[in-house]
């Protein structure tokens, strides 16, 4: 059985996009908006060298909402993959949930099992790649990523710029990340420390809700 690192995409691999005219932050809607976050390619390369399968697990409802097309999504993904490869890393496969319960495209207006926080895509990927989920990791920047990882049985790492910022929401949704980190690069460091048996280093990033709330 293989080990995998499952990655959310937006906010973990690439930066979100500010649309000041609408006052919102959203996923890239075209390749020109794709910007990798710092040291992402290097982090993925380190995980590649450690023998992990690298799989992206992403909710991408933009097509369902009429914001962009399948062709644009494919172009966005090609740019992300190319920039990661230019930095020495490799994503083995991307899994997208295209559904949304409020979709404007009827065939995508589905309450599915693949949209996070449901673990459907992780189970699909685990089946196709013969992944041992208990020996694998889910890295994401949202509560739904953590819940999906928990449901699938992986260890979970939350990427959050402010460690205390989402503690109350995590509690509300009973999401319990094993670790909180500030970037994918830091997440890779924690994962590699765990694999090397260096619990002392990894424990610096352990999620301790009571401590975090007391300091927030």
Q: Which residues are catalytic?
A: 8, 10
- Orientation of helix 70-86 relative to helix 40-49, angle to 10°: 70
- C-alpha 40, offset from chain centre: 12
Whether 191 contacts 49, CB under 8 Å:
no
ω before 68 within 30° of 0 (cis)?
A: no
> Is the CB of residue 168 less than 8 Å from the CB of residue 192?
no
| Spatial contact of 32 and 162, defined as CB atoms under 8 Å apart | no
């Amino acid at each position: 059985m293989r080990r995998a690192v499952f990655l959310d995409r937006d906010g973990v691999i690439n930066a979100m996009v500010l649309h000041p005219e609408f006052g919102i932050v959203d996923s890239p809607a075209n390749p020109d908006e794709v910007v990798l976050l710092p040291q992402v390619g290097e982090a993925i390369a380190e995980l590649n060298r450690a023998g992990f399968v690298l799989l992206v697990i992403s909710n991408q409802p933009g097509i369902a909402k009429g914001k962009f097309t399948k062709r644009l999504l494919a172009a966005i993904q090609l740019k992300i993959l190319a920039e990661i490869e230019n930095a020495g890393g490799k994503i083995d496969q991307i899994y997208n949930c295209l559904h949304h319960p409020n979709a404007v495209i009827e065939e995508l207006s589905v309450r599915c099992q693949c949209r996070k926080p449901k673990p459907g895509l992780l189970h699909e990927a685990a089946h196709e790649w013969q992944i041992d989920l208990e020996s694998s990791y889910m890295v994401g920047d949202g509560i739904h990523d953590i819940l999906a990882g928990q449901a699938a049985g992986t260890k979970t790492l939350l990427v959050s710029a402010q460690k205390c910022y989402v503690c109350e929401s995590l509690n509300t949704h009973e999401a319990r990340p094993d670790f909180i980190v500030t970037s994918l690069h830091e997440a890779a460091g924690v994962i590699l420390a765990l694999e090397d048996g260096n619990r002392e280093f990894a424990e610096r990033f352990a999620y301790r809700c009571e401590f975090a709330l007391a300091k927030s």
